[in-house]
Structure 1
Amino acid sequence: MTDLINVYCDESCHLERDRQTAMVFGAIWCAEHKRYEISQRIKDIRARHGMPPSFEFKWTKVGQSKLQMYMDLVDYFFDDSDIHFRALVIPDKSIIDHNKFNQIHDDWYYKMYFNMIKVILKPLDSYNIYLDIKDTKSHSKSQKLHDVLCNNAYDFQRNMIRKVQHIRSHEAAQSQLADVLIGALSYKFRGKNTSAAKLSLIERIAQRSGYGLNRSTLYKEEKFNILVWQGREEQ
């Protein structure tokens, strides 16, 4: 039986010259028919902590006054078997050698997005892929990524990967959850330690996942999957 899966993608420190050492691509995915239920559960967490409906969960907003709310969000993610997370971490962008591989940063960007998403894809299912809007080039980037994903999956009729489109994070609670988990990994791999609240949330993610968050998980890990990119051969 074919399932329709929604994949909500985001990235952190993705620019080539942003003076950040680490870069993270990540995605939350769930069955399409579960998305309303998941959104409501995340809205309930927000309401339970007295936040207005317009409040967006974001890693940058994690602080001591909101820590328990973010702890509840992380616990909800690990308690709900219908939601999954995958991340690809580039721990040191300085090792990227575009000249060696005759490419520009945008070419590499799409390769990394493909490497992050490909483990999620199953040939008998179909997918809607949503990207967080970053800049004025978002539409052309989504079309390029759609082409790359379909070509690599031999999905020339686009039956498997139905669409790749940009949305704003306030439109999907799943995108906000992705932002928090990606932000946590980015914070850890950049060696940041200025926020006790953020460090506490990272520790909760590590405890609940059963992983130290500093290395790749098992390739087939379904709940919380991390690939730490080494950049040995293919860039």
Structure 2
Amino acid sequence: MNFEVYCDESGLEALTRKDAHKYIAIGGVWMPADYRAEFKKNMNDIKDRFNIKGELKWNKVSPAYFELYEEVVKYFFKTNELRFRVILVESEKVNNVKFNDRDAELSFYKFYYQLLHHWIYDFNEYNIFLDLKENRNKGRLKELERCLDNTNLTSDIYQVQGLPSDQSLGIQLADILTGLVNAKFNNEITSEAKKGLIGLVEYFLGKEIVPSPKGEEKFNVFKINLQGGW
């Protein structure tokens, strides 16, 4: 089966400035490739109902637009074809000197690998789209693609590509959900509207947003352990 994955991140500045946030979050929305057209239509229908032309983003959630983002969250949870996974990284425990040759960009893509690798299943094909970034090392995405391909021998990684978020509703949905989880874990909930959306997600989950069991497939929250041990 052919899948598409749309990814974004939140709190990235904490990779180099540890006092910026306690957690960095990297998240992705998975969907069957043949669902993309319907997904785009449904998301655009929601935007049209609220007369919204611009990009959807967690940072744009406000009381004035609460109902818009409420509809987006409801759509995600009511749609079986959509799944979300987010990895949370505790910034204080990231040691770029020891493990990444002082290269925060390298550590960022290592965490992207952890997000993606564990949800790449045998005998499937994947096209993966990340929010477009200006990388110091221009080969980062190809390197990530190669690593994923080499460690998932019975699946095919067709591409790992950067896309401008304003051109991808999938990346915009990933932005909303990733930002929401990161705000919850960082206790950085800056408006009643954002608090309300977090409450809506927890209503659908039937519990507080906390790290998920490995088998959770709709809304998976993985808090990576950087301390080792067992």
Q: What's the counterpart of residue 26 of structure 2?
A: 25
Does 2:156 align with 1:160? yes
* 1:164 match: secondary structure: strand
Q: What's the counterpart of residue 121 of structure 2?
A: 122
Alignment check: 8 A CA contact 1:95 1:231 kept: yes
The percent identity for this pair of structures is 28
Q: 1:67: Cα distance to partner?
A: 0.1
Does 2:169 align with 1:170? no
Distance in 2 of aligned mates of 1:168 and 1:137: 17
Q: C-alpha deviations, 1:85-123, integer Å up to 9, x for none?
A: 000011x30112233436433332222111111222111
* 1:99 match: secondary structure: helix
Q: What's the counterpart of residue 97 of structure 2?
A: 99
Q: 1:131: Cα distance to partner?
A: 0.6
Q: What's the counterpart of residue 188 of structure 2?
A: 192
Distance in 2 of aligned mates of 1:209 and 1:121: 23
Q: Which amino acid aligns with 1:178?
A: A
Q: What's the counterpart of residue 11 of structure 2?
A: 13
Q: What's the counterpart of residue 47 of structure 1?
A: 48
Distance in 1 of aligned mates of 2:45 and 2:185: 31
* 1:187 match: secondary structure: helix
Distance in 1 of aligned mates of 2:163 and 2:115: 19
Gap regions ≥5 residues in structure 2: none
Q: 1:141: Cα distance to partner?
A: 2.0
Q: C-alpha deviations, 1:190-226, integer Å up to 9, x for none?
A: 111331111111111111123411x311212111111
Q: What's the counterpart of residue 182 of structure 1?
A: 178
Say what the alpha-carbon RMSD is for the aligned residues.
1.8
Q: 1:188: Cα distance to partner?
A: 1.1
Gap regions ≥5 residues in structure 1: none
* 2:64 match: secondary structure: helix
Q: 1:136: Cα distance to partner?
A: 4.7
Farther-moved stretch of structure 1 (174-183 vs 142-151): 142-151
The TM-score with structure 1 as length reference comes to: 0.89
Distance in 1 of aligned mates of 2:43 and 2:100: 44
Q: Of the candidates 213, 220, 223, which is equivalent to residue 225 of structure 1? A: 220
The TM-score with structure 2 as length reference comes to: 0.91
Q: 1:41: Cα distance to partner?
A: 0.3
Q: 1:49: Cα distance to partner?
A: 1.1
Distance in 1 of aligned mates of 2:144 and 2:133: 14
